Structure 1
Amino acid sequence: MYFGSAISHSRFKWLGICFLTMFLIYCLTNQDMGLNTRNSIYKMHASSTGPSDSVRDHSENSTHRLDGSPKSSELPQQLYYVESPHCKMPYIDPFSKEVLAIYKPMAFETCTKESDLVTPIFDVNRKRYVLHIDEGVAAKILNSSEIEYNCYYQEITRSAEHDSYNDLPPRIYFSQGYVVPLHVEGMILGCSEAANDSNVLQTDAFGLIQYKPYPSAVPIRKTAPAQAAQRKPSVIMFGIDSISRINLRRTMPKVYKFLTRSGWYEMQGYNKVADNTFPNLMAILSGFTPDTVKEAICNTDEKGCFARIPFIWKFLKDAGYLTAYAEDTCNINTFNYVKPGFSLQPTDYYYRPLLRAFESEMKTWKCAKCTINYCIGRRIQSSYIYDYAKEFTRRYVDERPIWGLFWSSSFSHDDYAMPSKMADFVLQYLLDFETDGVFNESIVIFFSDHGSRFGKLMYLSSGFLEERLPMMFIYLPPWFRAQYPEFAEALTANRNRLTSNYDLHNTLKHIAEIAGLPNSAPLPKANDCPRCQSLFYPVNATRTCADAGIPEHYCTCKPYKRISVEWADRIAPRVIDRMNDYLWGKNLSSLCTNLTLSYIHKTEIQIGPEQKFHELQKMDVAVYRTKFKVQQNSADFFATVVYNNVTNNVDVDVEKISRTNSYAEDSTCINDKIAKLYCICIKDLKP
């Protein structure tokens, strides 16, 4: 009896040990599988650039639905845009709680519900524009098909003296099927009742891409495999002012989804090099800073200077490209805002004179929350630019290489949320370009100059990054990827590496070299960034902001820690002293009031790679960021400084200090584009 019980006890003990062993093996195995699965997903997310990769699409869109509403994250979240020994650029959740507390998507609005009465139609056989009158629309407006009416147009011509348009000439009347003369590149037209000229049926305006035959008898567009080496990619650049890669995901999720499709490459480590549009676009289009241009070439404040600068369109034109440049919001155009503009027409097709006439001669309208004209005549302002791009690409993309920059500020410059109003609108244009075959022949660059520089986003913890990290997407057509697979591989490698405007400039030069004459000399690279390169080559993974031509004030590679110690409050007043010295040195003290501190929003200290974030000690000399408000008109500023805690000395480049709220009504007494940021005019002082 005792022996049997012992055997039974031993058997139960053995079974228990086996069960426990199997349970431990099961747990460890599942833990291993879970870790491997998570690591696998994270690696796929971190290295994937192909838009067909469903894991990447899901992981990067996991914080929001297609309409922009937030949803819970289901995969490990990306921690950094760039992570290297010299650069840790933090990833920002576009739908964080602090953003959702202020962000409300806006609804799209149309400018008119009427159908077009007159439409210019391009006759591909005759290569001429023909004006078509929709008689049904006229009958509907007049409420009769018996009443007679007249239609007319006025040609728009460029005034070189003011980089604008000449006074409109007398009306030219036309009838159905009128063939527009080749010299007419823009028109304002209308139709009115014949017996009562004041009864205007409809007015409209159009920019025309009149056909320019290629000067050579041999067509330049080659598509046969044997001629592939001669094939030249078109380059189409779509720019939208003041949109960070973060805000693109937030306000235009459908557009972002389109930009993650096959052939698109996002440069997530793209960091701006200057404060506002002019210097950032100068870096892309010329490879120069404005200061260097002034020293080495000419003063951009003087008429005729821009004609002497080696802009990228000149190199591309030499390589056989037809060129176009169009920009909306004329009063803040990149080369015209407190600048003289172009004395000579810069590109083959140039839109400014046309839109200047449209703005001046037609009725304009602002939506409820708009500060910039939303409608000009019957159309949304930005549609003039995008329609011009459509006409340009339709005319030539299948025939010859073209380059065009189409820049819009009207719906993004003054309000970070406004792009949400235009998301479907912009997406439709991208789909139209796809239908027209633009993506079959063209390298397409969808980009911005910087993020929001003032407004509500600047008061969030992510404001510093929102401002400095503009969106940058590059598309390569299938044939180009097949012909130059190493370029596609380089863009993939560069996705999460530090890049800048100067790299994009060198990439455009690289394309011009590919398209240029055989055995021609290499083109000069970006003048103000000797270590910058084409994005078609892998960027060094250990790159620094200095390597990429990014000044310290705009660099997002080094983390900062907020400090709340008494001695930190000494920094902002010293910065204000430097700002007052700057205005005095510019002889503006009689126009601009002396600035005084109102309060300090925050002060942060830079954490170097050798320092421990949580064990930071007081240092004699360190780099700081301070955000503060002055008493005069409640102006807000953000500065990066080197501060000596022993001598109380501040080293700061005043012209790199950011103004983080609008200054449009504060500095009307001066025209100096940089000083306007810091000048509060005595006559503009608010009580």
Structure 2
Amino acid sequence: MSTSMRLLMLLTGIFFLLYFSLEPYMDMFERPAIAIPEDIIFVNNSGCFLSARQSPARYSPAGEPINLLRCRKPQLMSARTRKGANFLVPKAMLENLQCTYWVLAAKDFQSNKVLLEGHFSLKRGANADIPIGEGQQIVRVKCKNQTNDTIYHDVHFFLPPPLRKLKPNETEKLSVMVLGIDSISQMHFVRSFPQLNGFLENVHTKFFGYSRVGQDARANLMPFLSGFSSDEAESQTEAWLWERFRAQGYGTAYGEDSAEVLFTTRNEKKQFPSEPTEFYLPPVLLEMHSHSRYSLDLREMIYCTAGRQFQEVLRDFIAKLVPHMRQRPFFSFFWESQGVQEYYEFATQLDQPYMMLLKSLQEADILNNTILFLMSDHGLRAGDYRSSFQGMEEESQPLLLAIYPDWLKVKYPQAMENFERNSHSLVTPYDLHQTLRDITCLDQLQNSQIEQRNKTLQSHLPENLPRGISLFLPIPEYRTCELAHIPSLFCFCRKHTEIPLDDGLVLRCSRFLVKSINQLTKPHSQCAELKLHSVVMAYFMDFGEESFDHELRLRVMTLPGHGEFEATVRVSDALKLTSSISRVNPYQAQSHCVSDPRIKVLCFCT
């Protein structure tokens, strides 16, 4: 065989070797990439179509590294209960300290009401535990060194485990726990909680059509806990949910990570009953807020006490409740707001703590007898992200998911089938209220009861549909925002079409919106009269072919103060506001001269 022939065969062999060995890699470049759908369908029925975007809109992060900030003062003590007695457990001291402590009532909002004052010394090196008392207690501690500098200032609370085992209930009861995180939309949760989402995979039902019905936390949680809007609730005497559960033999608990309690009346008086829940965290946070708090961030939105963030105090409260929850049925409500209200990126800090919290509840066997709602009130309400159209949509798509034991599906198959099917229905806080009222009497979830109640629900004409429908019943697929009592400003079931900002009708409606603001602030002479500076955003809202009305969603900027306001205006024979007026940029000290929260968001103080 000639040399040239051998060379040709060698080259041919090399070619085939390279071709077949590289073919899989070539396919990676030649085959078209599979497109990941950007839109997720939340609700798609005759009454509503809702979707969301997976990737976030652009936003400017905080000017400081929020995710890296830590409380800068030392945590020198912890609270422990042993054999019914309460102790302060000190760490090893680096210097000698003289400490004073004050014992307060466990449920008293009067932070200056001291039951007992005492003193103790801490020596450099090892120290013995300091006995404080017994039972539920709030203890504030302040320690100074030899040069009279305050080295440690903190508030501790004692929540001892139950002293004796109660007799088991004769009737089966299902505990309820609400874990609330302010300003978290459905998609914000998906993006910011990867570990928790992984932990919850296949063990929960997410309600994609959950919608807000009011502007702030109070306006969305009042319907959930009372069944009434925030305005209606002030004139009602019906029981709060925790009172209903307490009447059925449940233990009750309430906790926030803020001293500004969510449920206050317009005149700022506490709207809780005279006897609050059995276990009650707000007085602890009020004592911290008054004496030991300091800010973690430059904008003073996240607070610490000694070496702990306020959110850590809330989770410690939940942990101390676990022995009580194992003993008897409980209705518990917890709410976290600091940080997540102001900073888009802060939510990622909560991923691991909430995963660990749910894991600890699972290991303590709490979740086997509890329906747990992980929820929010609305999406982000201010900031760069909220300024985008996507941010505006997500504000009205708060998080709601439920975790529940498997035995519920076995014992109440029809009710739980409806519950899971409603995951893609239009749902509101009014529905949640009715759902939890059902849980106070589980007999209502029997198949025969569900069938009868469903017949009653179907007998209603659409215009007479109840405002709140239990999630254990099938929510009609024709339900619209109007039928669900969702104001126009918070409804994204209708198609939104962007229109030119200089359109004559847009300008006319924008001036009407500013005029409406001035009419609301007119009784308050300290508020300046606002002028229209510019139209920031304008959308036409499609009512469908059956309607002759037109409705515009507007965002305007006013002077003085550069306030940005949103509302919906309906155009028919005359202009009419069809929503409340929402402030979408920070106003901080601009409204210091008024206290009414409805006016505060609109007022520029002169």
Note if 1:581 corresponds to 2:480. no
Q: What residue number does 1:252 align with? A: 193
1:208 paired with 2:158, answer yes
Q: Aligned in 2, Cα 1:435/1:338: closer, same or farther, shift over 3 Å?
A: farther
Which residue in 1 is equivalent to 2:80?
Answer: 121
Question: In the alignment, is the contact (CA less than 8 A) between 1:234 and 1:401 conserved in 2?
Answer: yes
Question: Kindly tell me: are residues 172 and 503 of structure 1, through their superposed partners in 2, closer, same or farther at Cα, counting changes over 3 Å?
Answer: farther
Query: Pairwise mapping of residues 1-16 of structure 1 onto structure 2 (< 5 A)?
Result: none
Partners of 1:234 and 1:558 lie apart in 2 by: 38
Aligned with residue 344 of structure 1, among 274, 277, 284? 274
What corresponds to 2:174 in structure 1?
233
Of 596-605 and 414-423, the range deviating more from structure 2: 414-423
1:614 corresponds to which residue? none
Equivalent residue runs for 1:71-150 within 5 Å: 75-93=36-54, 95-96=55-56, 98-99=57-58, 106-111=66-71, 117-123=76-82, 126-134=83-91, 137-138=92-93, 141-142=94-95
The question of 1:219 aligning with 2:168 is answered: yes
Is 1:364 equivalent to 2:291 in the alignment? Answer: no
**Is 2:505 the partner of 1:567?**
yes
Matched position secondary structure for 2:367: helix
1:640 aligns with 2:539: no
Aligned match of 2:432: 504
Q: Pick closer, same or farther for the CA change 1:397–1:593 going to 2, 3 Å.
A: same
Instruction: Give the CA deviation at 1:248.
Output: 1.6
Secondary structure at 1:418 match in 2: helix
Counterpart for residue 11 of structure 2:
none
Rounded Cα–Cα distance in structure 1 between residues aligned with 2:59 and 2:588 = 28
Q: How far does residue 672 in structure 1 lie from its aligned partner after superposition?
A: 1.1
1:488 matched residue in structure 2 = 416
Q: Look up the match of 2:528.
A: 593
Aligned-pair CA distance for 1:366: 1.9
Out of 240, 243, 246, the residue aligned to residue 314 of structure 1 is 243
The letter of the residue matching 1:582 is L
8 Å CA contact 1:164, 1:352 repeated in 2: no
For 1:107, give the aligned amino acid: N
Paired residues for 1:149-164 under 5 Å: 153-157=101-105, 164=111
Figure out how many residues of one structure are paired with residues of the other and give that number.
Answer: 554
Say whether the 8 Å CA contact 1:186–1:354 is kept in structure 2. Answer: yes
For 1:486 and 1:552, locate their aligned partners in 2 and report how far apart those are by CA, in whole Å: 33
Query: Which of these residues, 138, 141, 147, is aligned with residue 189 of structure 1?
Result: 141
Instruction: Check whether the contact 2:135–2:158 (CA below 8 A) recurs between aligned residues.
Output: no
Alignment partner of 1:669 is 2:593: yes
1:378 paired to 2:378: no
> Structure 1 residue 152: deviation in Å?
5.8
How far apart are residue 413 of structure 1 and its match?
A: 1.5
Give 1:180 deviation, angstroms: 4.7
What's the CA shift for 1:458?
2.1
Q: Is the 8 A contact 2:43 2:426 kept in 1?
A: yes
Matches of 1:397 and 1:217 in 2, distance apart? 12
* Structure 1: distance between partners of 2:406 and 2:101: 43
1:191 and 1:657, CA in 2 relative to 1: closer, same or farther beyond 3 A?
closer
Match of 2:117 in 1: 170
Residues 347-399 of structure 1 show CA distances to partners (whole Å, capped at 9, x for unaligned) of 1111111111112221413224x43133122201111111101111x221221
Q: Which one-letter code corresponds to 1:290 in the other structure?
A: S
How far is the alpha carbon of 1:425 from its aligned partner? 3.3
2:113 partner amino acid: N
> How far did 1:432 drift?
3.0
Relative to structure 1, the CA distance from residue 660 to residue 199 in structure 2 (aligned partners, 3 Å threshold; closer, same or farther) is closer
Cα deviation, 1:244-263, whole Å, max 9, x if unaligned, reads 112222233323333x3233
Q: Which residue in the other structure is 1:537 paired with?
A: 473
CA 101–667 in structure 1, closer or farther in 2 if over 3 Å, else same: closer
The 5 Å alignment of 1:409-424 reads 409-424=337-352
Contact 1:327 1:352 in 2 (8 A): yes
2:283 and 2:274 map into 1 onto residues whose CA distance is 12
Q: What is the one-letter code of the residue matched to 1:208?
A: F
Provide the rounded CA distance (Å) in 2 between the counterparts of 1:310 and 1:593: 41
Displacement of 1:107: 2.4
Q: How has the CA–CA distance of structure 1 residues 180 and 482 changed in structure 2, closer, same or farther, with 3 Å as cutoff?
A: farther
Q: Is the CA contact (8 Å cut-off) linking 2:81 and 2:160 kept in structure 1?
A: no
Query: What are the Cα deviations for residues 107-159 of structure 1, in whole angstroms up to 9, with x where unaligned?
Result: 24332585x54333344xx355444444xx23xx23xxxx7x66663212268
Q: Aligned partners of 1:596, 1:354: CA distance in 2, in Å?
A: 44
Output aligned runs, 1:257-268, within 5 Å.
257-258=198-199, 260-268=200-208
Aligned amino acid, residue 651 of structure 1: K
Once residues 239 and 490 of structure 2 are traced to their aligned partners in structure 1, the CA distance between those partners, rounded to angstroms, is 25
Gaps of 5+ in 2: 1-32, 122-126, 458-463
Check conservation: 2:267, 2:596, Cα contact below 8 A.
Answer: yes
- Structure 1 151/681 Cα, relative in aligned 2: closer, same or farther at 3 Å? closer
TM-superposition CA deviations, 1:54-79 (whole Å, max 9, x none) = xxxxxxxxxxxxxxxxxx97554554
Match of residue 269, structure 1, among 209, 230, 237:
209
Q: How many Å separate the matches in 1 of 2:478 and 2:190? A: 27
Name the CA distance, whole Å, in 1 between partners of 2:470 and 2:246. 19
Instruction: Write out aligned runs for 1:434-583 (5 A).
Output: 434-514=362-442, 530-564=466-500, 565-583=503-521
Could you say what secondary structure the match of 1:600 adopts? Answer: strand
Secondary structure of the 1:639 match is strand
Distance 1:487 1:263 in 2: 17
Query: How far is the alpha carbon of 1:333 from its aligned partner?
Result: 3.9
Say whether the 8 Å CA contact 1:529–1:549 is kept in structure 2. no
Percent identity for Structure 1 against Structure 2: 23
Unmatched tracts of structure 1, length 5 or more: 1-71, 221-226, 298-307, 612-618, 683-687
Classify 1:185/1:536 alpha carbon distance in 2 versus 1 (closer, same or farther; 3 Å).
farther
CA distance in 1, matches of 2:73, 2:291: 21
Aligned pair in 2 of structure 1 residues 338, 172: CA closer, same or farther (>3 Å)?
farther
Q: Note if contact 2:512-2:575 (Cα within 8 Å) is conserved in structure 1.
A: yes
Aligned equivalents of 2:566 and 2:210: distance in 1? 21
Match of 1:282 among 208, 222, 228: 222
TM-score by length of 1: 0.73
SS of equivalent residue, structure 1 residue 535: coil
Structure 1 residues 670 and 529, CA gap change in structure 2 (3 angstroms): farther
Change beyond 3 A, Cα 1:531–1:184:
closer
- When residues 153 and 164 of structure 1 are mapped into structure 2, their CA distance, relative to the original with a 3 A threshold, is closer
Q: Residue type matched to 1:186 in 2?
A: I
Deviation at 1:552, TM superposition (A): 2.2
Cα contact 2:106–2:138 (8 A) shared by 1: no
Please give the secondary structure, in 2, of the residue aligned with 1:236: strand
Name the CA distance, whole Å, in 2 between partners of 1:495 and 1:543.
14
Of 475-484 and 314-323, the range deviating more from structure 2? 475-484
Does structure 1 residue 650 correspond to structure 2 residue 588?
Answer: no
Which residue matches 2:461?
none
1:607 aligns with 542
